Amino acid sequence: MKFALLFFVCFLSSVGAAAQSLLLVPDRVFDGEEVHDNWVVLVTGEKITAAGKREEIDIPSGTKTVLLGGMTLSPGLIEGHSHFLLHPYNEASWNDQVLRESRSLRVARGTRHALSTLMAGFTTVRDLGSEGAGYADVGLRDAIEQQIIPGPRMIVAGRAIVATGSYGPKGFHPDFDVPLGAEPADGRDDLVRVARDQIGKGADLVKIYADYRWGPDGEAKPTFSVDEIRLIVEVVERSGRSVVAHAGTAEGMMNAILGGVATIEHGDGATREVFEVMKENNVVWYPTLAAGEAISTYGGWRKGMDPEPARITHKKHVFQTALEIGVTIGMGSDVGVFSHGDNAWELELMVEYGMTALQAMRSVTSVNARTFGLGDELGFVRKGMVADLVAMPGDPTQDISTTRNVPFVMQSGRIVSAPNNPGP
């Protein structure tokens, strides 16, 4: 708590400070695609003004040097699937969070979650639904942008859209209208109205649930048709935004892909055919591996001691199939199901399930930046990019576990966390 308060004071005091050039001197730089030994990075104000060998860079007089010995400097990490307004399900079930926790309590938690995420090296997040908290995610985004609270820049989905009757909480007397985790919409006019309304209230993108657990026995079944999804995409894309889809079944995924969504979240039931169509249509997959493992753990599974649950074994096979086919895979963990700040768990699982550490680092930087339309500003260490930078001991492109320890964090040119090494 003392550290968080000290950080917040320093954060506020840095606002409005005169631009100063900083020369960051790590052992190596991961530029979002490749690793370069003995590179330095020059930052002036909010931007990277040079990156390369020290002898090739014109360093202004008065530049302060920041030594990052033994470390790799990387673009700020980008979380592709978060929920700042949720906290781990072993603390409170999703139903209880939606039904019993006040909006103000959830926002207070979200403020802490934003700080934990930033201090873990994630300088940008895509937050995919407030889960019953209305447009509180829009408020958190704006508070961070206005430097009222510290946190990563946020791309938010607002309420998200579900088919009537599909989403929860459920199990209540039918005469009761309980708060829902997303906004229902049906039919052409209603879908158009709700999509436009969510955009008007501040959503940066629209999330739909292409399937959900509303089958006869509680199994996942498709919700919207291809034509309905195509209609939503057409409306949303006119505003310069994209549509993303929660989809766990092969049919739900296929409907969403053919409907024109930009990304698929979860995808546990994907088949080879689905992934081939996904690749053909340039749809990016966010597998949320850590959420799956977290839920199994909450159910009593002890990893490394108990037999592996069938759902985990199957997800590994699905992940490896996607890699084999060449589907673009972004890093998105569904954090909120588990603890904010533990986002690196997803990177570790991506490697455990079959990626190389280099592929995982690309996923959490350049792949996510391009997917979210931010590739001209973030996700790379290049001249002219926004100076969102992190450094960690060792080389994460060789050992992904190093992403769990990020002592240096810079956001828009401001150092928000640093090792005790001020340089000469």
Q: Model confidence over 351-368: pLDDT tens digits?
A: 999 999 999 999 999 999
Residue 141 pLDDT more than 60? yes
Share of the chain above pLDDT 90, in %: 92
Which pLDDT score, from 0 to 100, does residue 419 have?
83
Residue 10 pLDDT more than 70? no
Which pLDDT score, from 0 to 100, does residue 13 have?
43
Cβ pair 261, 244 in contact under 8 A: yes
- In degrees, rounded to 5, the angle at the alpha carbon of residue 336 between the alpha carbons of residues 311 and 316 is 25
CATH 2.30.40.10 fits domain 2-76+379-417: yes
**What whole-number distance in Å separates Cα of residue 306 and Cα of residue 407?**
34
* Cβ neighbours for 13, distance < 8 A, ≥ 6 positions apart: none
Cβ pair 303, 254 in contact under 8 A: no
Name the least confident of 68-82, 166-180, 240-254: 166-180
Cβ pair 361, 71 in contact under 8 A: no
DSSP 8-class letter at 148: S
Residue 1 pLDDT more than 50? no
**310 three-class SS:** helix
Just give the CATH number of 78-342. Answer: 3.20.20.140
| pLDDT band (50, 70, 90) for residue 18 | low
Cβ pair 231, 190 in contact under 8 A: no
Q: Are strands 183-184 and 161-162 parallel, antiparallel or unpaired?
A: parallel
Cβ pair 224, 255 in contact under 8 A: yes
Cβ pair 43, 22 in contact under 8 A: yes
DSSP 8-class letter at 326: T
Phi then psi dihedrals of residue 31, to 5 deg:
-90, 10
Taking alpha carbons only, the member of 109, 120, 123, 121 closest to residue 151 is: 123
**What whole-number distance in Å separates Cα of residue 222 and Cα of residue 371?**
25
| pLDDT band (50, 70, 90) for residue 89 | very high
CA dihedral 277, 360, 32, 112 (to 10 degrees): 110
Cβ pair 344, 307 in contact under 8 A: no
Which pLDDT score, from 0 to 100, does residue 19 have?
74
Two tokens, residue 26: 């790590």
**What whole-number distance in Å separates Cα of residue 157 and Cα of residue 84?**
12
Q: Which contacts of 356-360 are long-range, i.e. CB under 8 A and separated by 24 or more positions?
A: 357/396, 357/397, 357/398, 357/399, 357/400, 358/35, 358/397, 359/329, 360/331, 360/400
Place of tokens 């946190």: 151
Q: Which contacts of 53-62 are long-range, i.e. CB under 8 A and separated by 24 or more positions?
A: 54/25, 59/21, 59/23, 60/21, 62/20, 62/21
- In degrees, rounded to 5, the angle at the alpha carbon of residue 11 between the alpha carbons of residues 9 and 12 is 70
Cβ pair 372, 343 in contact under 8 A: no
Residues 99-103 have a mean pLDDT of 97
**What whole-number distance in Å separates Cα of residue 343 and Cα of residue 251?**
29
CA count, 13 A, side-chain hemisphere, 159: 21
Give the domain ranges of the chain. 2-76+379-417, 78-342
Same CATH topology for 2-76+379-417 and 78-342: the answer is: no
CA count, 13 A, side-chain hemisphere, 374: 27
The full length of the chain comes to 424
Residues 279-308 have a mean pLDDT of 97
Cβ pair 35, 359 in contact under 8 A: no
* Cβ neighbours for 341, distance < 8 A, ≥ 6 positions apart: 113, 116, 117, 119, 120
Which pLDDT score, from 0 to 100, does residue 406 have?
97
Average pLDDT value for the chain: 94
**What whole-number distance in Å separates Cα of residue 282 and Cα of residue 276?**
10
